[in-house]
Amino acid sequence: MSKLVNPHGGGELKPLMLEGAALTAEKEKAVDLPKVNVSSREAGDIIMMGIGGFTPLDGFMTHADWEGVCDGMKMAHGSHKDLFWPIPITLSTDTKTAEILKEGDEVALFDAARDEILATMIVTEKYLIDKAHECMQVYKTTDIEHPGVEMVMAQGDVNLAGPIKVLSLAEFPQEYGEQFMTPAQSRAQFEKRSWSTIAAFQTRNPMHRSHEYLAKIAIETLDGVLIHSLLGKLKPGDIPADVRSEAIETLIDNYFVDNTVMQAGYPLDMRYAGPREALLHALFRQNYGCSHLIVGRDHAGVGDYYGPFDAHHIFDEIPADALETQPIKIDWTFWCYRCDGMASMRTCPHDAEDRLLLSGTKLRKALSEGEEVAGNFSRPEVLAVLRKYYASLKDDEKTEVKLSGHSAR
């Protein structure tokens, strides 16, 4: 019997990706179905449902579910009634397309960027939402400069609900190989390694010394750490997934004990929803088999929209039985010159002038501008990988990296 945490909802993993003859037949049928275009965020959600990362969802949320998730972080519909869920998983379309469709119609969910049908869906409901309300509840702002708010405001005016059948995982399996793990695969790896307590480390950046320190704190008390990188869409200026993966693998090879760390990736876009996204990160890491999620400073935040530890506090505000995966809450971490090593606010008694605060944004800014980076900021082997990447960029490919409050991670 497995000692890993249960998939969310307490049942079995629920991947929606078809296989074999069923996949072949559904693909043939999908060609003749009306097409509904999907955004990059929606495509990531489809693929996540395909691999079982969003277990136990069977498709895109109804109006009642949207409202329940926005206002109370729980679903309100059918067999998933009262299931904890922190961020709406919805599909939108334009008014013209919605007018053509009727409830009960079957549609093909088409990703124009990939020129591919990713899934089919039976439309069970069409509904309007208050986008500003969703933004205030989920992102705590309606400021269009917030990238998550921008995504919501740019989506179609009508949401479509219904169960889906996933036909493709897009380019992820081919492009990322073994790094692109499904929840079933990560659970099998944990079992093979005899791990039962695993902390997920969420990242969209290469790991600097502070990230390394956070992972090693978890390793001190748990069986292992899954460094789980986002493979979906990022902000301009963020480092691509393949470069990030190489840098992380270099760090693992040189600075971690064998069989204490795994690296994998997942297909979502960042929503930058701060505390709510921290909860979503814990939820789908439960499906991946992780018992814990490392939650540091300003988890999944951007700019100054959230307090540095709002993502810690939100775990104390949800019902005790909402998630099996629990947070490992870690304070500010930094290099202390007087301690001569990495430390946190809980372990270092020295003053601010003795501390070097580390962040992914600061590291990207220094590298993009060709500045020297101290060894107590990032490991030299990691810096070599990142410098090679920045040296390869043409002038028109470079994006200015701006520092903003505590958004730097």
Tens-binned pLDDT, residue by residue, of the chain (409 aa): 789 999 999 999 999 999 999 999 999 999 999 999 999 999 999 999 999 999 999 999 999 999 999 999 999 977 889 999 999 999 999 999 999 999 999 999 999 999 999 999 999 999 999 999 999 999 999 999 999 999 999 999 999 999 999 999 999 999 999 999 999 999 999 999 999 999 999 998 889 999 999 999 999 999 999 999 999 876 677 788 889 999 999 999 999 999 999 999 999 999 999 999 999 999 999 999 999 999 999 999 998 999 999 999 999 999 999 999 999 999 999 999 999 999 999 999 999 999 998 877 778 888 888 888 888 889 999 999 999 999 898 876 666 655 554 443 4
Q: What is the dotted CATH code of the domain comprising 175-266+272-397?
A: 3.40.50.620
> Alpha carbon 197 to chain centroid distance?
20
Strand partners, 59: 163
Q: Domain coordinates of the chain in residue numbers?
A: 20-170, 175-266+272-397
Look up residue 271 and give its two tokens. Answer: 């929503």
Look up residue 10 and give its two tokens. Answer: 């307490």
237 dihedral zone (left: phi>0; alpha: psi -120 to 50; beta): left
Of the residues 41, 187, 204, 409, only one is catalytic, namely 204
Of the residues 41, 187, 205, 276, only one is catalytic, namely 205
d(Cα 58, Cα 117) in Å, to the nearest integer? 18
- Convert the pLDDT of each residue in 177-206 to its tens digit: 999 999 999 999 999 999 999 999 999 888
| Spatial CA neighbour of 223 closest among 248, 246, 200 | 200
Q: Is 409 a catalytic residue?
A: no
Q: Is 364 a catalytic residue?
A: no
- Convert the pLDDT of each residue in 210-232 to its tens digit: 999 999 999 999 999 999 999 98
Largest CA distance in the chain: 68
What backbone phi and psi angles, to 5 degrees, belong to 266? -135, 160
Q: pTM of the prediction?
A: 0.94
d(Cα 40, Cα 110) in Å, to the nearest integer? 11
The answer as to CATH 3.10.400.10 being correct for domain 20-170 is yes
Asked, colleague to colleague, whether 20-170 and 175-266+272-397 share their fold, the answer is: no
